[in-house]
Structure 1
Amino acid sequence: MGACPPSSKVVKQAIQWLLRLRESGHAPALRLQCEQWRNADQAHEVAWQRVVSLHQDLDLRAIAGANVALQTLETSQRRLHRRQALKLLGGVALVGSAAWLGKDLQALSSWTSDYATGTGERRRIPLPDGSLLQLNTRSAVDLAFDERQRLIHLRQGELMLTCNAAQGPMLIRTRDTLLEGFDAQVVVRQDADCTRISVSRGQVALHRPGDAALHWIAAGQAWRVDAQGPHLLQQQAMDANAWTEGLIVTRDMRLDAFLAEVARYRHGYLGCSDDVADLRLSGVFRLEDTDKLLQLLPQTLPVLIRQRTRWWVRLERLA
Structure 2
Amino acid sequence: MTPVTNATRSGPDPQVVKQAISWALRLRNNRANVRLHAQCELWREAHHDHELAWQRVQALQQELSGQLSAVPGAHAALENSAQGLGRRQALKLLSGVVLVGSAAWISRDLTGWQRWTSDLATATGERRSVQLPDGTRLQLNTGSAVDVDFNVQQRLITLVRGEILVTCGAVSSVPLWVKTRHGVFEGIDGKFNVRQDSDCTRLSVVSGNVAIHSPHAAGGLSTHVHAGERYLVRQNQVIPAPPADMDSGAWADGLIVTRGMRLADFLAEVGRYRHGYLGCSADIADLRLSGVFRLEDTDALLAVLTRTLPVQVRYRTRWWVSLDRMA
TM-score, length-scaled by structure 1: 0.71
Q: How many Å separate the matches in 2 of 1:112 and 1:193?
A: 23
CA displacement 1:155-187 (0-9 Å, x = unmatched) = 000000001211132100001010001201010
- Partner of 1:130 in structure 2? 135
Does the aligned pair in 2 maintain the 1:100–1:268 contact within 8 Å?
no
- Partner of 1:194 in structure 2? 200
Does the aligned pair in 2 maintain the 1:176–1:194 contact within 8 Å?
yes
Task: Out of 154-163 and 222-231, give the one that drifted further.
Answer: 222-231
- Partner of 1:93 in structure 2? 63
Please give the secondary structure, in 2, of the residue aligned with 1:261: helix
Residue 299 (structure 1) aligned to one of 299, 307, 321: 307
Residue 220 (structure 1) aligned to one of 223, 228, 244: 228
Residue 207 (structure 1) aligned to one of 213, 235, 244: 213
Does the aligned pair in 2 maintain the 1:304–1:318 contact within 8 Å?
yes
Residue 274 (structure 2) aligned to one of 236, 255, 266: 266
Q: Percent identity?
A: 51
Q: How many Å separate the matches in 2 of 1:280 and 1:191?
A: 23
Supply the AA of the counterpart residue of 2:62: V
Supply the AA of the counterpart residue of 2:124: T
Q: How many Å separate the matches in 2 of 1:200 and 1:214?
A: 19
Equivalent residues, number: 238
Residue 106 (structure 1) aligned to one of 98, 107, 110: 110
Runs (5+) with no aligned partner, structure 1: 1-81
TM-aligned CA deviation for residue 87 of structure 1: 6.2
Q: How many Å separate the matches in 2 of 1:145 and 1:236?
A: 33
TM-aligned CA deviation for residue 234 of structure 1: 3.9
- Partner of 1:253 in structure 2? 261
Does the aligned pair in 2 maintain the 1:179–1:207 contact within 8 Å?
yes
Q: CA RMSD in A?
A: 1.9
Q: How many Å separate the matches in 2 of 1:165 and 1:299?
A: 47
TM-aligned CA deviation for residue 271 of structure 1: 0.2
Q: How many Å separate the matches in 2 of 1:252 and 1:316?
A: 19
Please give the secondary structure, in 1, of the residue aligned with 2:323: strand
- Partner of 1:171 in structure 2? 177
Does the aligned pair in 2 maintain the 1:100–1:269 contact within 8 Å?
no
| Structure 2 counterparts to residues 300-315 of structure 1, below 5 A | 300-315=308-323
Residue 316 (structure 1) aligned to one of 315, 318, 324: 324
With over 3 angstroms needed to count, the CA separation of the structure-2 counterparts of 1:186 and 1:100, relative to structure 1, is farther
CA displacement 1:58-115 (0-9 Å, x = unmatched) = xxxxxxxxxxxxxxxxxxxxxxxx9697565333124444655544523123321000
Task: Out of 91-100 and 208-217, give the one that drifted further.
Answer: 91-100
Please give the secondary structure, in 2, of the residue aligned with 1:292: helix
TM-aligned CA deviation for residue 251 of structure 1: 0.5
Q: How many Å separate the matches in 2 of 1:91 and 1:100?
A: 10
TM-aligned CA deviation for residue 318 of structure 1: 1.5
Residue 243 (structure 1) aligned to one of 230, 251, 255: 251
Q: How many Å separate the matches in 2 of 1:130 and 1:153?
A: 17
Q: How many Å separate the matches in 1 of 2:193 and 2:206?
A: 8
TM-aligned CA deviation for residue 210 of structure 1: 3.1
Runs (5+) with no aligned partner, structure 2: 1-50, 69-95, 100-104
- Partner of 2:163 in structure 1? 158
Supply the AA of the counterpart residue of 2:255: L
